[in-house]
Each structure stands twice: as structure tokens, then as C-alpha cells.
Structure 1
Amino acid sequence: MQYDPIKRPLGKVFNSTPWLRVFFYWLLDLLLLRSWHIRREMRRELKNRNGLSVLDAGSGFGQYDWFMSSFNKTWRIKGVDVKDEQIADCNTFFARMKRGDRVRFEKADLTRFDEPASYDVVLSVDVMEHIEEDEQVFRNFYAAMRPGGLLMISTPSDQGGSDAHDHDHESDGIHGFIDEHVRDGYNITDIEEKLTRAGFTNIQARYTYGTPGKLSWKLSMKYPILMVNFSKLLFVVLPFYFLVVYPICFVLNMFDVRMTHATGTGLLVKARR
């Protein structure tokens, strides 16, 4: 499954004005189930926690930085990424939206990240499946956090959430750019052991994208992307498609974030320094 035919045109449209970009963030928060899980856990863990220093490790185009800077205006947020153009783009956008004083972006290699005892929260969404030296990154996260700090990771599981080797798998693309994945998702025991070796305690890992989430993903992401890959003319059909389909996806997402799943194609992991 190819993402570029849908990413590039949408990116150009929604980045044409700052408020269209905000609208795009809002759409992503509605559509992407992992965003539902992340936002719910942040509200559970960090409500009324003022003055925190937050690292978004793999910030991409800044979706979660926008949410966090809206969720608590006293937080100081730093997003890091390996792509120069995304760093420049995010810094420009957040400055235009008058948030540049509390949200900034820098280029960084997480395998070499070295900012001791600087952060109360580290967020990593759809990043660890791209990094071979994951244990080094976990050690760097641990060193960068203050005592009692919270690490939150969203990543594919080994139950079909990644397709580093099988690009025709029915779950392909759930967690991003599968061509760049270096592993076929994490086993819960595996990631818990790696985080323990890095020094973390109170580790909690649970499956996301259970049966409701997988169905929601097919309806809201897989089928629309297949349509646009077939023909860009079908962009015209997408708004009408989502008018019909999204209420179903909304209910399915509600079930997925509230249920305990025996298995699932995603993992949400929390750990303490």
C-alpha cells in the first residue's frame, strides 16, 4: 500500500494556511485510533500536571505537539525529528500560531540523544519500529528523564501491526510507513524486558487495535487509501464516503479505547523513570 498519492496532495492543501493545518490536526485526531489512545492516556496520567517539560521523540509534522500545547498551556514542549524540512516547517507553523515560545523543534538522532535529566514526559509515537538500536534509544530516554518521569510509547505489536517483510498483509500501514520498518512489531514481553534493562520501572503494556480498531482502520484508512491509489479522481468521492462511514468508525474507536484486548496489532506502553 502506497501513502504518497494521498499524503502529498493533502499535505499541500492543508498546509496552505495555518488554520487549514489546525483543521487537518483535528481530522487526524478523529480518524487515527492511536491518537485516541494517546490522548486518553495523557488525560488519565497528566491532568492538572502543570509546568512539565515534554519531549516528543519523533515529532513528524507536529500533530501531538499541537494537542499537548492545547491540553496544558504551562508545558514546555520540544519535538525532535531526523528530517530538516519537518523541523523547519513545524517551527514556522507554531511561531505563526503564537506557540513558539513554549513549543520548539530541533533535529536529533535518538540513538545519540544526550540531554540528561531534562524531561518529565517522553512521548514516542510510531518511532521505535523504525530504529534498529532500540535499546540504546530506551537508555537515552531514561537518562533524559527526571525521577518519576513518564515514558509513553505507541508502536506496532508482533500480531500483525507492521509489514517490514510482507507488504500484502491485511494490516499493512496501520502504524505508518511500513517500507521503513526494521522489525515486525514488538512482543509485549520483549519490550518490557528491554525497558527494564534500560532502568525503567512500573512498566505497563497493553494491546491496541483489537477487533473493533482493526475494522475501524480498514474503513477509515485502508479502503480510502486503496481508492486514491487506484485513481486520484476518487479524492472527490472521499468526503461523501466519510459522511457515511465515519459514524461507524467513531463507535468502533470508542469500543477499542475502552476494551481490554487479548491481542491487537498495536501496543501502548507506559513506564516510569
Structure 2
Amino acid sequence: MSRIAYDPVKDRFANIIRSSKFLRRIFYFLLDLFFLRSWHIRKILWSVGKKIDRKGEWQLLDAGSGFGQYDRFILNAFGNVKVTAVDVKEDYLRDAGHYFSEQIKDGRIQIKKADLLAFKSDEKYDIIICIDVLEHIEEDVKVMQNLSALLNPGGYFLMHSPSHYSEEDAGDEESFVDEHARSGYSKEEISDKIIQAGLTPEKVHYTYGFWGHKAWVLSVKWPMLWFNKLGMIAVLPLLIYYPLVLPFTLLMNLADLYSVNQKGNGIYALAKK
């Protein structure tokens, strides 16, 4: 059964933007525009981070930083934050190091290779984010326990992952979940695991609900399929396709952002120590 090769598609884009900060800024903009999880995560970070930022210097850990898109948002949004970004992929870290070279010199961000099962730090953090990472790790509770130990009392842990409802997509030939250790979490499961990690869940919410899922299919899933089949030739039809569908998908994302979804293909949890 053929499957979407999701990581190779992301890596293809990474190769294109690798040497250009300008192209990387465009790439970050597109990630924030098209991926609904970014809408939810930035909304929560803005709300929680503003309260902390007013008090002076504070520390944030991006556990599984990937391309570094959230680090860019955080550094731009908060003047008093210092970020530590860790990941296991050396090429992603190297590229992020190039993009954030000025912020590294200023001491606003550190970029490190780390296994989240073993990561230790002398720093204590006020916020730890772990976005679309835990679904890749078998020992997810151990990771959350490790991260919990790095939080200051009163600090926040924010995660996002596919939900157990994403199993509904897992059976077709266009699934994105081949590289996952699990298909996703229910509200009850992630709440229980957060409690096992010594944290108190504050809000657990489904993302990619009715409207969000439709927006994802139109703006992400179908274009990814085309890139898998056609490579960069897919850019040509997409130049016609996106102007037609983008206004509708953005409205759908906005509807998801402010909906109380009873179910959805994604899930986030905000917890406090």
C-alpha cells in the first residue's frame, strides 16, 4: 500500500531554503499560514507568554524544535525570553543555527542536539513546548517526566500531537502516520499521562475539527500528494489552485481556532507544574 512520504517532502523544502535566510522567512510564513496547529500554538503561547514576559527575563525550552518556526515566533513576540531549542536531527539544527546566528551571538537562543529521553539541563524553564513530537516516541511518559523535572514551579508545558481520531485517516493510502509510534491521543489518555509526569492539565482541546480538517485536506494533504507524485513540477498547478482555495481554507482555520471541537484529528494540552 502506497503512503505519503511526509518527511521526505519536508526535507525537500529544507534543501531549497537551506542557504537563504530570506527563503527561510518565507517558509516560516507559509508554515504558520497553512498548518492549523501553528495557529493554536501561537494563540496559547501569546496568552501565557505575555504574562511571564512582563515579569522580566525567562526561559523557554523547545523540545523537538524541528525547523525552528516556533522559536522565530517566540523570539519576535517576547522581548525578555531566552530560548533553548533541542532536536535529534543534526541537519535541522545546523540550518536553524545559520538562520538564528545573530540571536545566538546575542545570547537569546541556544541550539543543541539532544535525545529527549536523556536530556538534562542546569537551567529551569518557565515554558516547555513539545509540538508534534510525542507521537514519534514509544516512551512518551518518560519524556514528559523528564521535561517536567526541568520546569520551574508554576511553569507551563504545552504539547500538540495527532489525536486518536486521526486513526480514521490511517487506513487509506494517503496516510501521514507511517513514522509515528502511535496514531494519536484521546483527551483522557494525554491527561492521564500528563498527570503521571507530575503536571496538572489546565486545558486539553481537539484541533483539526470539522472545519480544520477540511482546510487541511484542501491546503496541505492534496498539495503534498501532488508533490510526492510530480515533484517540483507541482508548483505550476498550485499557482492556480491556491488563489482559488486559500481564502476559504483560512476562514475554515479561523473557525477551528475558536470552535469547541468535540472531536478532531489533532490535540493540544496545556499543563502546569
Does TM, scored on the shorter chain, surpass 0.5? yes
Equivalent residues in 2 for 1:116-155, closer than 5 Å: 118-155=124-161
Worse-matched range after superposition: 255-264 or 48-57: 48-57
Given the alignment, which residue of 98, 108, 112 partners 1:102?
A: 108
Matched, 1:74 2:80: yes
Aligned residues: 266
Secondary structure of residue in 2 paired with 1:106 = strand
- Map of 1:43 onto structure 2: 46
Task: Report the residue type matching 2:16 in the other structure.
Answer: V
Given the alignment, which residue of 3, 6, 15 partners 2:18?
A: 15
- Map of 1:216 onto structure 2: 215
Given the alignment, which residue of 29, 42, 46 partners 2:32?
A: 29
Measure the CA separation in 2 of the matches of 1:181 and 1:100: 36
Aligned in 2, Cα 1:11/1:246: closer, same or farther, shift over 3 Å? same
Aligned in 2, Cα 1:272/1:5: closer, same or farther, shift over 3 Å? closer
Task: Report the residue type matching 2:91 in the other structure.
Answer: E
- Map of 2:236 onto structure 1: 236
| Kept after mapping to 1: 8 A contact 2:18/2:95 | no
Deviations 1:128-158 (A, max 9, x none): 0011111111111110000000000011110
- Map of 2:267 onto structure 1: 267
- Map of 2:62 onto structure 1: 56
Task: Report the residue type matching 1:71 in the other structure.
Answer: A
Measure the CA separation in 2 of the matches of 1:41 and 1:48: 11
Task: Report the residue type matching 2:224 in the other structure.
Answer: I
| Kept after mapping to 1: 8 A contact 2:206/2:262 | yes
1:101, distance to aligned residue in structure 2 (A): 2.1
Aligned in 2, Cα 1:184/1:229: closer, same or farther, shift over 3 Å? same
Measure the CA separation in 2 of the matches of 1:160 and 1:127: 15
1:234, distance to aligned residue in structure 2 (A): 2.1
Task: Report the residue type matching 1:63 in the other structure.
Answer: Q
1:55, distance to aligned residue in structure 2 (A): 0.2
- Map of 2:183 onto structure 1: 184
| Kept after mapping to 2: 8 A contact 1:56/1:79 | yes
Task: Report the residue type matching 1:47 in the other structure.
Answer: K
Deviations 1:182-228 (A, max 9, x none): 11201211111111122112432111110001000000011111122
1:32, distance to aligned residue in structure 2 (A): 0.5
Measure the CA separation in 1 of the matches of 2:22 and 2:165: 38
Aligned in 2, Cα 1:70/1:149: closer, same or farther, shift over 3 Å? same
Secondary structure of residue in 1 paired with 2:247 = helix
| Kept after mapping to 2: 8 A contact 1:115/1:143 | no
Given the alignment, which residue of 156, 168, 173 partners 2:172?
A: 168
Aligned in 2, Cα 1:268/1:103: closer, same or farther, shift over 3 Å? same
Deviations 1:228-258 (A, max 9, x none): 2222222222122111111111000000000
Secondary structure of residue in 2 paired with 1:220 = helix
Measure the CA separation in 2 of the matches of 1:231 and 1:120: 44
TM normalised by structure 1 equals 0.91
Task: Report the residue type matching 2:5 in the other structure.
Answer: Q
Question: Structure 2, unaligned stretches of length 5 or more?
Answer: none
Secondary structure of residue in 1 paired with 2:183 = coil
Task: Report the residue type matching 2:139 in the other structure.
Answer: E
Secondary structure of residue in 2 paired with 1:203 = strand
Measure the CA separation in 2 of the matches of 1:207 and 1:191: 11
1:5, distance to aligned residue in structure 2 (A): 6.0
1:36, distance to aligned residue in structure 2 (A): 0.3
Task: Report the residue type matching 1:74 in the other structure.
Answer: N
| Kept after mapping to 1: 8 A contact 2:132/2:161 | yes
Measure the CA separation in 2 of the matches of 1:4 and 1:206: 26
Measure the CA separation in 1 of the matches of 2:12 and 2:137: 28
| Kept after mapping to 1: 8 A contact 2:215/2:249 | yes
What percentage of residue pairs aligned between the two structures are identical? 37
Measure the CA separation in 1 of the matches of 2:201 and 2:11: 40
